[in-house]
Structure formats: structure tokens, C-alpha cells
Amino acid sequence: MKTAQESDTPLTGPALPAGRGDLSHGVVRALRGDPGDGIPLSSRGAADEADPYGEDLHLALYLCYELHYRGFHDVDSAWEWNPGLLGLRADLERRFLDALRADTERGAGLEEAFAGILVEPVEAGGLSGHLRDEGELWQLREYAAQRSLYHLKEADPHAWVIPRLRGRAKAAMVAVEYDEFGAGQAARMHSRLFADLMRDLGLDTTYGRYVGVATAEMLAIVNLMSMFGLHRALRGALVGHFAAVEVTSSPASRRLAEAMRRTGAGEAAVHFYAEHVEADAVHEQVVRRDVVGGLLEEEPWLEADVAFGVHATDLLDARLAEKTLTAWRDGRTSLRGPL
């Protein structure tokens, strides 16, 4: 009997998207072949010259990471641990991580990092503010299509950090993740609730369906979660990222629920964000007090890494908001192609 890696049966993940440059084209070509053949050496060298926030690098990195989640249709599962592909992934990660470290506030403490995201302006702007006040249904559909790259696997990237935590931090992280995964009820999993939202908006709920039209800015946000989660050395950054998400989620979800109501998007669309208003308000307190507090009680030297995770998250969220709002204000799609 053949093992899972030796099986001739096609795997059942999403289809591979088209490449966007030398790096991502090289990864796509490799994944369509035999993992024993490796990847072109030219692809590895190209990582050093790639735009660290660009379409090519982030699609290539997303493809590498997705092998650790559901994989791709007709792609051999042995690619997940292929040494050549892991080498390329390391090059891409280094390029991305170096840029993030260079572009975030060096030396900023954790208190300062949280201060920047805890206090909202009187008239909150950003994507959720625009969608609440003047967003149109087609813009909500584009927003949901992009966010589906994360929300259809909501909480999965953060689960990687659980074995890297101890004591109070681990217990609290598991408690929050338990809620994200529906508290034992499949119908209440946040990924399932988001699929229901997509149906209300007339979107395809197939996992990975909208990777091809998602922008580099959205891919970078999802890649950040995977990079932080998959590396034990970045566990502090993952905790900082997770804290930033929970701190900002409740007020943003309130605005998005209002946007869904105003545009008549549907009951399930409203429910997804209404659920997050209450859940994430509680999660914020647990994460800041017990996950962050517990981690730094055990490993106080990770404070700078936690702050870096907060700043990096804020940086990438701002890049996505700027790119999207610029397109919408010009009356054009924020995506790479039509839905």
C-alpha cells in the first residue's frame, strides 16, 4: 500500500494561481512537477532583488506557506518539506523580515506600541470607517473577497504558536483559539461564519478562490501570520501580532456590521461582524493580560519582539487600507481583476 506522499490520487486543495513574476512563476512551475526535481536555482537568486512588499515575492511566499495548510489541487504533498523549496522560502522570508524591521519603529517599547492602536480618533478612518459611512455593496464584496484569504482559515496561523508558549500564556491562548474555532461547534467556527457572510454577498466560498485577484498588500498580511507562526524564534512577534488584531478587531467589526446593515448585505453578513464585536472585546483583555503578560512573565527578553509584532501588523494594515481606498476613490476596483 502506498503512503500518503506516494499516492497517485490528486490532492484536494485549491487550484494553483498564475504567477506574477520570476519568483512566483518558478514556484508554480516547480509545484506542478515532481518534488524530486527541486526548484530552479535562478529563482533563489531572484529573491535578493525582489520588492519585499511586491506581488511576485508575496505570491511566491504565500504558495510556500499554503503547503503547510491545505496544499493545492494536484500538487504532491511531499513539496511541503522539499529542501530546495524551503531554502527559497527562507530567502523570501529574510527579504520580507528585513524590510519589516527597517520600516517599523526601532527601540519602541510595548507600551508605546499599544498606545498607537488603543486610542481611536473621534472619526475613525481606514477601510472600516469608509465602508460604514459611504461604502457600496461592490466595495464590501471586494473587501470580503480579499479578507477570505485569512478568514476562511481564521485562527489557523495563530495555532502554530501554542506549542511555543508555557503556563498562563499557553492556557489563555488556547482559550481564545477555542472560541475562534466555535467552542466545539462546527457551525460556530469563525471560518464557517465568514463563509456564510460570503454567500450573503454572492461570493464563491471555495477555499483559496480569490488568491488570484488578491493584492500583494493582502498577501503580505496573511504571510506575516504564517511567518511569525511557523518560526519559534518569532513567537514573541506572533503574540504581538495577535494582540494587535484583537485590540483593533472589536471597534472595526462594529463599523463593518453597520456597513453590512446599511447596504442590506444580509443577516449572515451582519452576524459575522456583530459576533466579533462582543467576542473580540473579551479576547482583547485576555490576550493583553494573560497571553502577552504571561509570555513576558516567563520570557521578559521578548518584549521588543512583541512590540515588533504590533508595529509590523499596523504597518501592513495601513498599506492595505491606502492601496484599497486610493482605488475606490478613483472609482476603480481594488483587486487585480474582476470578481
CA-based nearest residue to 140, from 254, 222, 262? 262
List, for residues 251-305, the tens digit of each pLDDT value. 899 999 999 999 999 999 999 999 888 776 778 888 989 999 999 999 999 999 9
pLDDT at residue 9, rounded to an integer: 40
Length of the chain in residues, anyone?
339
List, for residues 239-264, the tens digit of each pLDDT value. 999 999 988 888 899 999 999 999 99
Query: Domain coordinates of the chain in residue numbers?
Result: 22-101, 108-329
Contact indicator for 190, 147 with CB cutoff of 8 Å: no
Contact indicator for 39, 84 with CB cutoff of 8 Å: yes
Residue 2, pLDDT > 70, answer no
List, for residues 141-151, the tens digit of each pLDDT value. 999 999 999 99
**Among 45-54, 132-141, 191-200, 319-328, which stretch is predicted with the lowest mean pLDDT?**
45-54
pLDDT-based confidence at residue 47 (cuts at 50, 70, 90): confident
Residues 6 or more apart whose CB falls under 8 angstroms from that of 228 comprise 157, 161, 234, 235, 237, 238, 241, 309
Complete DSSP assignment for 250-282 = HHHHHHHHHHHHHHT--HHHHHHHHHHHHHHHH
CA-based nearest residue to 215, from 156, 154, 143? 143
CA-based nearest residue to 295, from 308, 306, 309, 282? 306
Q: pLDDT over 70 for what percent of the chain?
A: 90
Which CATH number describes the domain made up of 108-329?
Answer: 1.20.910.10
User: Average model confidence (pLDDT) for the chain?
Assistant: 90
pLDDT at residue 120, rounded to an integer: 57
List, for residues 165-184, the tens digit of each pLDDT value. 999 999 999 999 999 999 99
CA-CA distances (angstroms) from residue 281 to 112, 147, 166, 172, 245? 21, 20, 24, 15, 11
List, for residues 91-117, the tens digit of each pLDDT value. 999 999 999 999 997 766 787 777 766
Q: pLDDT over 90 for what percent of the chain?
A: 79
pTM reported for the whole predicted model: 0.92
pLDDT at residue 125, rounded to an integer: 64
